[in-house]
Structure 1
Amino acid sequence: MSESTVLNTTSKRVVMVSAVAALGGFLFGFDSAVINGAVDAIRDEFGLSSVLLGFTVSCALLGAMVGAWVAGPLADRQGRIRAMLIAAALFTVSAVGSGLCVGVVDLIIWRFIGGIGVGMASVLAPAYIAEVSPAHSRGRLGSLQQLAIVTGIFAALLSAALIAAAAGGAGEVAWLGLEAWRWMFLTELAPALLYGMLALRLPESPRYLVAQNEFAKAGSVLSDVVGIRGKEAVEEKIAAIKATINVETRQGLHTLTGGRAWLLPIVWIGILLSVFQQFVGINVIFYYSTSLWRSVGFTEADSFTVTVITSVTNIAVTIVAIALVDKIGRKPLLLAGSAGMTLALGLMAVSFSQATGSGEDVTLPQPWGMVALLAANLFVVSFGASWGPVVWVLLGEMFSNKMRAVALSVAAAAQWLANFVITTTFPWLADIGLVLAYGLYATFALLSLFFVWKFVEETKGKELEAMR
């Protein structure tokens, strides 16, 4: 296809369509973080042990793994838009159920349901955005998913703080006789409903429409959204899509093996990208940062402020990634991010080797306390400008048309499983020693550098039909 057949600028419509799809990422971030401000109040309300409290928090990650696993096959059978509507419904049900729960058992059920929605959104948004975006701006538009995630995390933390402040505490009664922590969950209802209503107005993916032999509708989307001009150019694009989709064979997990007994190499690369994104320990910084901040001199009350500042930093560096991903490419950003994370995590491990005390009483003498604080922020910057957004971009575009949604499901499910493993093992590792924990994450960051250098191919500017 000649360059003259595709608009060189990114239309406002494709930006708006991508932004609406990325609302799933906002809910992904919001739902993941909203429980943070409610944890202590939930423990006191239901008298939970630390083990049960931990499972109440982490059960959403298991739900996300399930949601990611089913999202791809569902999107291939029912369409991307219908799958988004199902995810929006799950977010809505979870918000209401969690806010009005009567005990810990049904709270866990509602959290698990919300997790399914999170997992589905983690697959649907990058796949859909990649399929409606022109190649020259697909990286920037795909990065909207990560920007929406970190914005959702920030919105959840901020709304929880405001609600708790208005009520005088997360466990205090706020409005309509409901405690503040319940309203923290109920606030998710507004973006969930908005996501569902706006998703109804989205055009279906042209790749899905071609797979359904709806060529006229696919042509309209390619012209009006993607920006391909001219009847001949649109027909040429449809023919290219059709050539990469086996319309005679139902897509499913079998497409990931290529007729062999094992997964194709490209699927393994997607899985390992997902696993490395979590095994560097990014969620440890967001879920378990309180002891770190206290060890360098912050009070417990100040730790929330520091967490909010960290989330704002994450938003800022994600915007930097959006500006760079289509200019310098995906692979250079990942390599730079791996190098920065290795340095930062190594410094944290060295810093904590100088610590005194144990458990929550650990303290760091100066200057090691300040070194650890600066290293933690360097880690967030390195991750947020590279592995945070770029992995989602790659997962949305690196697979061929015949397997994209299903392969993305498998990779995202692996990511949620890795998230669960890291989140649940950190307290155990921390009891042994934070040097071990951060040293282990630094090792994975170093391994990720060699993995990207050896196995990940650059996809900047390539058409999706060129992916094999």
Structure 2
Amino acid sequence: MSDTSTSSKQSGNIGFIVLICLVATLGGFLFGFDSGVINGTVKGLDAAFNAENFASGLNVASMLLGCAVGAFFAGKLSDQYGRRNMMMIAAVFFIISAWGSGIAGSSGSFIIFRIFGGLAVGAASVMAPAYISEIAPAHLRGGLASIQQIAIVVGLTAAFFSNYYLAGASGGATEIFNGHETWRWMFWVELAPAFLFLILLFFIPKSPRYLMVKGDEPGALASMTRLFGSDVAANKINEIKASLASDHKPRLSDLLKTSGGGLRPIVWVGIGLAVFQQLVGINVIFYYGAVMWEAAGFTEADALKQNVFMGVMSIFATLITLFLIDRFGRKPFLLIGSIGMSIMLAIVAYAFSSGELVNDALVLSDNMGRTALYAAMAYVFFFNMTWGPVMWVLLGEMFPNQIRGSALAVAGFAQWMANFLVTLSFPVMLGSIGLAASFGIYAAFAFLSIFFVIKGVSETKGMELEDMQG
């Protein structure tokens, strides 16, 4: 009875906490939607702006430059102005980007508005995990933080479905729908969830750990009381106070070793997690899925349909993580993902290598076409069950309180720069070395990530944030 009572108190007002997490992860939904919507618009953009190869890749990848900048500065600015306030600014940028991308009349103006969206995505990508980790009870933190990845894949799936529906209703991304090209409507759909995100953010509390860093103990106690009740709140405030007692205000220099120079090892681990998550090539599927499957011989309608199936499957995969990550831990999930992804990517590469070029288009046999498709689906499943959510869970919780915002900024910047390079390079690789060699490279990085996890990643399951060591 005593253990049950203590656990219940530590869990706090779980219904309220879950609602707060859902609001915060609307940023993740928009992150996913903004990332996935480009998938179905590439053909329309190429036609509207006469873009091909590198120029086409720049239209797609331009958002990621904004993501890198947004992630880097959001971490630092959130230490100064708060996690919630930075998410509000991100919501405004999502609105600007969704509207502007749809009205763009040139590749230049389109890229500018996509960079605004990138700033929002980058900020949301690091702020939501940080905010959730700072309000969630330790024994539920992994599952609640995994909601961020569920929101991302739900956003991706919503974008894929919206693109599929609009393309079906109009006849294609380049066709006119209600007075405008269909690809423009694909961007404008995002306005509804972006406004909803902005409105709901006004109703969630500020992070109590942020308030303690800013010296607002009464505000932190009030926020913690709303989350956990008065009995637990006072103890938690004292724990945070003790962890901050000998510290100073957060700064980027805290990421450096106290002697010998260079980044602290924990920061390098965060950077490694962030970069490997992208080097396995997942966003090639998310950003270029329609282009890739058309290059492999599928029709535009079938290619868009594959995206919807993969999105739904991604949601299911992430739900598995939501329910099991706090039972089995973070590291086992990463290892399973690395092994599974390396095998499936190798199979995809092999299937594509069997094709023949006919009129500059890759043609696969029926068996190899199905093999490539099923292996790619299994790869996406492994990613979204493991590296997709677990990387964000770890980045949100693995750093000590003092450096969390700054370390997230650096890791987030590295993640989005790797994303940018992979995304920008794919059209060039597709036109030069082909699909098989491209996926062979992604398979090699997935294989290398196995050793990174074994050697570099420590388990954080069940640990309080105040106990994290750098």
- What range describes the TM-score normalised by the shorter chain of this pair? over 0.9
Instruction: Give the aligned partner of residue 462 of structure 2.
Output: 461
| Aligned residue type for 1:382 | F
Q: Secondary structure at the match of 2:180?
A: coil
Instruction: Give the aligned partner of residue 73 of structure 1.
Output: 76
Instruction: Give the aligned partner of residue 440 of structure 2.
Output: 439
Q: Secondary structure at the match of 1:12?
A: helix
Deviation at 1:26, TM superposition (A): 0.6
Q: CA RMSD in A?
A: 2.2
1:152 and 1:247 map into 2 onto residues whose CA distance is 42
Segments of 4+ moved more than 4 angstroms:
294-297
Residues 449 and 367 from structure 1, CA distance in 2 versus in 1: closer, same or farther, beyond 3 angstroms?
Answer: same
1:97 and 1:354 map into 2 onto residues whose CA distance is 42
Residues 411 and 92 from structure 1, CA distance in 2 versus in 1: closer, same or farther, beyond 3 angstroms?
Answer: same
Instruction: Give the aligned partner of residue 313 of structure 1.
Output: 313
Q: Deviations over 1:195-249 (max 9, x none)?
A: 1111111100011010112112212222321x2551xx43332122123236863
Instruction: Give the aligned partner of residue 99 of structure 1.
Output: 102
Q: Deviations over 1:83-115 (max 9, x none)?
A: 111101111111222222233221111111111
2:282 and 2:30 map into 1 onto residues whose CA distance is 19
Residues 366 and 162 from structure 1, CA distance in 2 versus in 1: closer, same or farther, beyond 3 angstroms?
Answer: closer
Instruction: Give the aligned partner of residue 448 of structure 1.
Output: 449
Deviation at 1:301, TM superposition (A): 2.5
2:359 and 2:329 map into 1 onto residues whose CA distance is 42
| Aligned residue type for 1:121 | A
2:100 and 2:294 map into 1 onto residues whose CA distance is 34
Instruction: Give the aligned partner of residue 133 of structure 1.
Output: 136
Greater alpha carbon shift after TM alignment, 444-453 vs 43-52: 43-52
2:102 and 2:185 map into 1 onto residues whose CA distance is 6
2:42 and 2:297 map into 1 onto residues whose CA distance is 23
Q: How does 1:354-365 map to 2 (within 5 A)?
A: 354-357=354-357, 361-365=361-365
* Aligned mate of 1:182, from 178, 181, 184: 184
| Aligned residue type for 1:112 | I
Residues 163 and 296 from structure 1, CA distance in 2 versus in 1: closer, same or farther, beyond 3 angstroms?
Answer: closer
Q: Secondary structure at the match of 2:357?
A: coil
Residues 359 and 197 from structure 1, CA distance in 2 versus in 1: closer, same or farther, beyond 3 angstroms?
Answer: farther
Greater alpha carbon shift after TM alignment, 234-243 vs 186-195: 234-243
Matched, 1:262 2:262: yes
| Aligned residue type for 2:423 | T
1:65, 1:413 within 8 Å by CA — same for their partners in 2?
Answer: yes
2:57, 2:427 within 8 Å by CA — same for their partners in 1?
Answer: no
1:338, 1:449 within 8 Å by CA — same for their partners in 2?
Answer: yes
Residues 288 and 190 from structure 1, CA distance in 2 versus in 1: closer, same or farther, beyond 3 angstroms?
Answer: closer
Instruction: Give the aligned partner of residue 395 of structure 1.
Output: 395
Residues 109 and 247 from structure 1, CA distance in 2 versus in 1: closer, same or farther, beyond 3 angstroms?
Answer: farther
Deviation at 1:358, TM superposition (A): 7.5
Greater alpha carbon shift after TM alignment, 35-44 vs 265-274: 35-44
Instruction: Give the aligned partner of residue 36 of structure 1.
Output: 39
1:10, 1:137 within 8 Å by CA — same for their partners in 2?
Answer: no
1:42 and 1:153 map into 2 onto residues whose CA distance is 19
Percent identity between the two aligned chains: 46
2:39, 2:289 within 8 Å by CA — same for their partners in 1?
Answer: no
Matched, 1:278 2:278: yes
Equivalent pairs, count: 463
Instruction: Give the aligned partner of residue 57 of structure 1.
Output: 60
Residues 44 and 349 from structure 1, CA distance in 2 versus in 1: closer, same or farther, beyond 3 angstroms?
Answer: closer
Residues 207 and 444 from structure 1, CA distance in 2 versus in 1: closer, same or farther, beyond 3 angstroms?
Answer: same
Residues 361 and 336 from structure 1, CA distance in 2 versus in 1: closer, same or farther, beyond 3 angstroms?
Answer: same
1:305 and 1:55 map into 2 onto residues whose CA distance is 25
Instruction: Give the aligned partner of residue 373 of structure 2.
Output: 373
| Aligned residue type for 2:412 | A
Q: How does 1:185-204 map to 2 (within 5 A)?
A: 185-204=187-206
Q: Secondary structure at the match of 2:45?
A: helix
Deviation at 1:370, TM superposition (A): 3.0
Q: Deviations over 1:138-188 (max 9, x none)?
A: 01110011111111111112222333333444334433x433322222221
Residues 105 and 219 from structure 1, CA distance in 2 versus in 1: closer, same or farther, beyond 3 angstroms?
Answer: same
Q: Deviations over 1:243-297 (max 9, x none)?
A: 3236863312111114342110000000000111011111122233346545766
Q: Secondary structure at the match of 1:357?
A: strand
| Aligned residue type for 1:276 | F
1:70 and 1:246 map into 2 onto residues whose CA distance is 26
Deviation at 1:27, TM superposition (A): 0.7
